[in-house]
Amino acid sequence: MTELPLSPDAGTDAETDGWNALYLAGKWTDQGDRDSISVENPYTREELTTVPAGTPDDVDQAYEAAAAAQEQWADQPPQGRAQVVTAALEFVRDNREAVLELLALEAGSARVKGVAEIQTATGMMQQAASFPFRMDGQQTESIVPGKENTVERVPVGVVGVISPWNFPLHLSMRAVAPAIAAGNGVVLKPASNTPITGGLLLARIFEEAGAPEGLISVVPGSGSEIGDEIAGHDIPRVVAFTGSTPVGLSVAEQAAGNCALPALELGGNNVHVVTDRADVEQAADAGAFGSFLHQGQICISANRHLVHEEVYDEYVDQLAERAASLPTGDPTDEETIIGPIIDESQRDQIIEYIEDTVAEGATLEAGGDHDGLVVEPTVLADADNDMPAACNEHFGPVAPVIPYSSTEEAIELANDTIHGLSGSVHSQDLAQARRIADGIETGMIHINDQPVNDEPHVPFGGMKQSGLGRYNGESILEEVTTTKWISVQREPREYPF
């Protein structure tokens, strides 16, 4: 087996084999009689290690420990909480190359993607380190004579986090770091494909940073086994989920059953609109990046390219040329841009979408084949909105290119989806671009860029069935805190009876 970096030193708490442990109630806990989850390299299919599969009893223990630890943690002065998050940030920065290696081995992350992921994760951590000093209260006037009103911002208590496999470090950290900084406890369930980079690595990071024992637990396991227990437990007050829309709707239902707030970032079917006034070369550069970064396995990637008929052929040619030129293969090779799809089931679904779209009349301009789990960057011309690769979130390196003839048609096509997460518009006429951007029903849209953008201080989230709530900056601080009204009647009050 490959020796994985940054594995925990379990000491006397557990006899682990590398990462083969849970982080439960502040202790590394060995497998015992639990089932195993095989952690495989998606490029070589080598088994890297196994990790224990958490049980419902583990989830109970984790939530109870987080609730107990959170009470004292919330009483810490702001500089104490900020110090832990800052130390966690420094640990990631100091171990950047080891984290990149883990992302390549476990998540199939080419270096360009791994670097971007660490950048977004540390950016969010840097924001979170300031949150203890940003939980401002306010005093307000009262309609009652002699009364003083104070509104405080306080932690919700415990936050449950269910994270995906595509950007495992960042999409876990963007919920975990703000929750801890704001004074909450956390129970994290990472995806089964990436239990280390999406979960156990965060346990190691915050343990090294000095987080109190029990404040954070990481319980790997399949959604079918412990997902409902994580989402539907009566202790968490917020359940943060990133993943598919169907699963997210179930998580929301489970959380709401206990009056917990579901914070959801769900699927996307994002458009990259290229107008008749676009710089086609720049639009093609952006389109290639937006569709092919991390093999298209990004909720905000460009899922559909809507291109004006006047520049359509030129754009298809340029996009296909870029697709064909991208280096594919081993993500540990620094030259690689396109690495593996995460597993066989995802690859097979992508290939099926490509084949069915060609069967319905699309033209294969580039790619379309695969070598193991490496799917070639694929460009499909003559597509329409109803073809499988366009109407579904294909989550692969696939670019269906759909022609349109007017601004109104572009907006109509863009909105013809249940999703509304991200998007982009290219035009040298900014007024034209803004008209289209304003007309598209989406939580985020980028002019003369592509849909894959994430800045730690800017609200991140979608409309329609792409989610509820927002991550980043003040938005995530509001999600993991609540307000408390405290009034003081400083003069005797007269009552009507």
Q: Find the Cα–Cα–Cα–Cα dihedral 312, 316, 318, 323, rounded to 10°.
A: 160
Q: Cα(121)–Cα(213) distance, rounded to whole angstroms?
A: 23
Q: What is the DSSP string of 123-173?
A: HHHHHHHTGGG----EEE--SSTTEEEEEEEEE-SEEEEE--SSSHHHHHH
Residue from 192, 254, 252 nearest 222 by CA? 192
Q: Are residues 454 and 293 in contact, defined by beta-carbon separation less than 8 angstroms?
A: no
Q: Using alpha carbons only, how large is the chain's radius of gyration in Å?
A: 24
Bridge partners of residue 217, in order along the sequence: 187
Residue whose tokens read 């022609």:
403
Residue from 312, 310, 309, 318 nearest 291 by CA? 318
Catalytic residue among 64, 229, 265, 376: 265
Length of the chain: 497
Residue from 319, 283, 252, 291 nearest 422 by CA? 291
Locate 161 and state its tokens: 């986090």
Q: Find the Cα–Cα–Cα–Cα dihedral 477, 478, 480, 483, rounded to 10°.
A: 130
Residue from 366, 367, 388 nearest 303 by CA? 388
104: three-class secondary structure by DSSP: helix
Locate 289 and state its tokens: 């990046």
Locate 221 and state its tokens: 């396991």
Pairing of strands 138-140, 47-52: unpaired
Residue from 193, 127, 242, 199 nearest 476 by CA? 127
Pairing of strands 270-274, 302-308: parallel
Q: Cα(454)–Cα(26) distance, rounded to whole angstroms?
A: 31
Q: Is 391 a catalytic residue?
A: no
Q: Cα(301)–Cα(387) distance, rounded to whole angstroms?
A: 18
Q: Cα(297)–Cα(265) distance, rounded to whole angstroms?
A: 15
Question: Residue 293 is inside which H or E element, if any?
Answer: none
Pairing of strands 423-426, 216-218: unpaired
Catalytic residue among 106, 207, 299, 365: 299
328: three-class secondary structure by DSSP: strand
Locate 264 and state its tokens: 């959801």
Please list the active-site residues.
265, 299
